[in-house]
A and B are shown apart, each in its own frame.
Chain A
């Protein structure tokens, strides 16, 4: 992996960039999209994540809502990273991401910009913020599989 991705200044700027200018930050009206509303009592983050899943491929992912820096940027990066992937590939990336969050060994190559959240475990009460969008897309993939059962 590129050494740049270990430089805290670079990692910070990735997070700030996705917070200030989130990708795919607009919900879609089309009824082809499925949607998951993520809101919890213990946290302020309140986002909606949508996915267009066809033939087990994540053709589009978008989101909107009110959330902190970590939740907004991690969801933005997730949407960028998983868009166009098959459900199988997406699951592998999510699994590596969760390993990283839990501070276990993980495959950096698969995570690209998402490695910016490698230290989120330093603030244990914020792990939820770094996974909120990822939890949403996982649940949407399950929903899609059930629908096409």
Chain B
């Protein structure tokens, strides 16, 4: 069991108050997460004690930074059960997904090929493939969702054929938080010779992930959603696929040799994808975040989040003014609305009591067709949230209606 009380002491943000003096209740963890002191220290330590570039220079400090930078790669590899040379550092999940769409998709897709995705995807996993399809004349197609908004393996099977070259899906969808059976998807896709790209931004921070067991071909995630710094993330790719892919960006660090005739000899993966000076402090911060999380244990984090979610949803079901859109799922994301109150008005009401949740308009097609609403509220919990916070959230939630929603302006 988690010692949440002790864990909370590691996060300076959690002792902050809102402008009106309320305790800060942060339920927007699907957007980003707070950082433990260990991560903040790792970032500061780089600037205080090292500060020099990686992969450059022959002096002592440079060597030390290099060692630390590469040991971060080992930490990531160990975390997701990959090989160290399969870990590419990027600016985050968005860049990772773009890298696959540009560096692999645009290189190998041709007219008649199909890229298969779903209506529940985040823009970062759809827009790069729309572009790739525009350039290569391939077709982007979607797996139809169940009425609940879930992605169903049977529906996926019906969409599979030998023209499908790429399947690209989030392991946990960002609006409704449903967990997709990636292992099964990979098994089926591979039978048809398609590769599978996984957006792990919403899954990796919350559940154990083993890329070898999933057998996915690419896996993308961001550090900031798992207690790490912003502006850094990872693309995992099977080594032979990384070697086949072009970098998204060229420059110092990615090439071994070049000449004035235009001959470029690229370095092997992962270095060919890492041009320019990276966010070194963020990579070191990500390492600290992963160590922090592994120390608590992904299994424990996952179990606690589900317990907290169930505690939250059970009380929300009792509230007459609440509509829940994902009553049953296996992630900390609860998507809902307050009856007769526009989502943004409700979010402002919550905010007035120190509660941070997201109001948002999501993939219009998904929500209009499946949920009959154009925007929703999303509360997303993490392992540092508590039942006491949930109780307070429920109390505020019960107060919101069409008559009270304007209270916060007067």
Binding site for B on A (CB under 8 A): 8, 11-12, 15-16, 43-46, 66-70, 119-120, 122-123, 125-126, 129
Contacts and interface: CB of A to CB of B under 8 A. Distances in A.
14 contacts: A11-B410, A12-B406, A15-B406, A15-B409, A44-B360, A66-B361, A68-B344, A69-B342, A69-B345, A70-B409, A119-B409, A119-B410, A120-B409, A129-B344
B310 interface: no
A69 B406 contact: yes
Interface in B377-410: 402, 405-406, 408-410
A123 B344 contact: no
B343 interface: yes
Contacts of B406: 12, 15-16, 69
Given A44-B360, A68-B342, A68-B344, A122 B408 contact: yes
A122 to B, nearest CB: 6
Contacts of B348: 123, 125-126
Interface of B: 342-345, 348, 351-352, 359-361, 374-375, 402, 405-406, 408-410
Nearest to A46: B361
B375 A66 contact: yes
Where chain B touches its partner, the secondary structure class is mixed
Most chain A CB within a 10 A radius of its CB, from B342, B351, B374:
B342
A125 B345 contact: no
A145 B62 CA distance: 61
Contacts of B410: 8, 11-12, 119
B342 A123 contact: no
Contact of B344 (A8, A11, A44, A122): A44
B359 A69 contact: no
A69 B361 contact: no
Contact of B409 (A46, A122, A125): A122
A11 B408 CA distance: 13
A58 B369 CA distance: 39
Contacts of A67: 342
B92 to A, nearest CB: 17
A123 B409 contact: yes
B396 to A, nearest CB: 15
Contacts of B409: 12, 15, 70, 119-120, 122-123, 126
B195 to A, nearest CB: 31
B351 A125 contact: yes
B408 A43 contact: no
Contacts of B375: 44, 66
Contacts of A43: 344
B335 to A, nearest CB: 15
Contacts of B408: 122-123
Nearest to B408: A123
Given A44-B375, A66-B361, A68-B343, 15 more contacts: A11-B410, A12-B406, A12-B409, A16-B406, A44-B344, A44-B359, A44-B361, A46-B361, A68-B342, A119-B409, A119-B410, A122-B408, A125-B348, A126-B409, A129-B344
